[in-house]
Amino acid sequence: MTLTPDAPAPPTAVVLEATGLTKHFPVRRSLRDIFKRTHEAVHAVDDVHLTLRRGQVVALVGESGSGKSTVARLLAQLYPRTDGDIQLHGESSRVKGGRQFRAYAKKVQMIFQDPFASLNPVHTIRYHLTRALKIHGNAGGNAQELEQALTELLNRVSLTPPERYLDKFPHELSGGQRQRVAIARALGANPEALLADEPVSMLDVSIRLGVLNLLRDLKERLNLAILYITHDIASARYFADETLVMYAGRMVEGGDSETVTQNPAHPYTRLLIDSAPDPDRIANMTADTADRGDGEPPSLIHPPTGCRFHPRCPVAMPRCSTDLPVRLEINDKPGHWAACWLYDTEPEAAK
Ligand code: SF4
């Protein structure tokens, strides 16, 4: 097995595209509500658009419960979607399991947040990687080729010398080493897109950078498309080409990472950036600025009307609680947009 793309592709070719992606989870009804006509649902993801291109990282940023992980699971087709479309190489794809799912998973692989939970504790690293290689037809024709493929996978994730790790169990490795094994297992499929769901959030701070650098190296060498899900907007600036911000199941801002993190347009993105600990800023805070955007994320069973951020927004206007904001260009850098009425330049009378 050689860990290279199947066929030469333009560096920014679109691998995976989601349009209008929506997921509502029905709420189980209690006995008391059983005769009610209305069916309540958690509006986990609404109308999400994103594009993953070869050789690029897209960061999806937001607080816990904003719907980021649901987007990753929808893209991996682990959940059926309520609405919208997912296109792999321009072709609409909806898989339910079996052979179709295996063919899809060969192209689109997922890396989970907790490497300890995602590896089976009773099996060795050799078992995990061999299984991935065999399922996706990359194990070669004989034992020697399989051994070579295993060695190559571990070398690729910098677990060297490979023979030191192959016959170990997950509990014998550190958190960072386990996450590298999980990445190696995903690479066993020789995928084109990686969906990394908070891949470093459970690791010690000292080893996070090493894993992010590894993913960046893989992106460049294998021309991978990567979706990087995180609540840490600072790491998105370091690692991602494009950053999308999610709040309460909706996308609220997007653009190149440098612009979104250095010149945020949406009040929620500003709040996220201001939430990162910074001793200088804390020292200069007044009672007013310390309370900016205070409050809890809203219920997703009955999300706020209009802009979902309006109950927490320090600059909310009357229309924010009634009209759903559309994507509006910010006009500072190409491709920078925000779903916020502050940037609506059309006069009210013209609407
Ligand atoms: Fe705040 Fe209104 Fe913009 Fe929403 S649309 S972020 S409530 S100003």
- Ligand 1 mean position to 269 CA, how many Å? 11
- Ligand 1 closest atom vs CA 252: 6
Can you tell me the distance from the alpha carbon of 290 to that of 267, in angstroms, rounded to the nearest whole number? 14
Q: Which atom belonging to ligand 1 lies closest to the Cα atom of 325?
A: 5
User: pLDDT tens across 188-209, in order?
Assistant: 999 999 999 998 888 888 888 8
Work out which ligand 1 atom sits closest to the CA atom of 339. 5
Measured by CA distance, the residue closest to atom 7 of ligand 1 is: 310
Per the domain annotation, does 177 fall within a domain? no
Q: Number of structural domains, the chain?
A: 1
The answer to whether the CB of 256 falls within 8 A of the CB of 336 is: yes
What is the DSSP secondary structure assignment for residue 49, as one 8-state letter?
Answer: E
24-36 pLDDT, tens digit each: 999 877 666 666 6
- Tell me if 300 is assigned to some domain: yes
- Kindly give the distance from the C-alpha atom of residue 315 to the centroid of ligand 1, in angstroms, as a whole number: 7
Average pLDDT, the chain: 88
Residue range of the domain that includes 242: 14-27+41-121+192-345
> Taking the chain, what is the end-to-end CA distance rounded to the nearest angstrom?
59
Under the banding of pLDDT at 50, 70 and 90, the label for residue 213 is: very high
pLDDT reported for residue 294: 62
pTM value is: 0.89
Return the half-sphere exposure (C-beta side, CA atoms, 13 A cut-off) of residue 3.
25
To which H or E segment does residue 214 belong? helix 205-222
Q: Is residue 187 part of a domain?
A: no
- Tell me the best of 246, 308, 324, 342 to mutate to test the pocket of ligand 1, counting ligand atoms within 8 Å of each CB and taking the most: 342
Average pLDDT, integer, range 198-222:
89
pLDDT value of residue 280: 61
Q: For residues 195 and 76, is the Cβ–Cβ distance under 8 A? A: yes
The pLDDT value recorded for residue 140 is 87
Nearest CA to ligand 1 atom 5: 340
- Domain membership of residue 178 (yes or no) is no
**In angstroms, what CA-CA distances link 284 with 271, 291, 313?**
16, 13, 21
Q: Residue of the nearest CA to atom 8 in ligand 1?
A: 316
Distances in Å between the alpha carbon of 242 and those of 50, 65, 237?
Answer: 10, 21, 9
**DSSP tag of 28:** P
96 Cβ neighbours under 8 A, 6+ residues apart: 80
Q: Which tops the pLDDT comparison, 130 or 30?
A: 130
Q: Could you tell me if residue 74 is inside a domain?
A: yes
**CATH code where residue 84 lies:** 3.40.50.300
What's the token pair of residue 47? Answer: 């109308």
For residue range 57-89, list pLDDT tens digits in order.
Answer: 999 999 988 999 999 999 999 999 999 999 999
In a domain, 147, yes or no: no
Q: What three-state secondary structure class fits 50?
A: strand
Q: Which of 320, 327, 328, 344 to mutate to test the pocket of ligand 1 (most atoms within 8 A of CB)?
A: 320
Q: In angstroms, rounded to a whole number, what is the distance separating the alpha carbons of residues 43 and 19?
A: 17
Q: Name residues contacting ligand 1 (CB within 6 A).
A: 266-267, 307, 309-310, 313, 315-317, 320, 325, 340-342
Q: What is the pLDDT of residue 241?
A: 96
Q: Is residue 175 part of a domain?
A: no
Domain assignment of residue 179, yes or no = no
Distance 324 CA to ligand 1 centre (A): 10
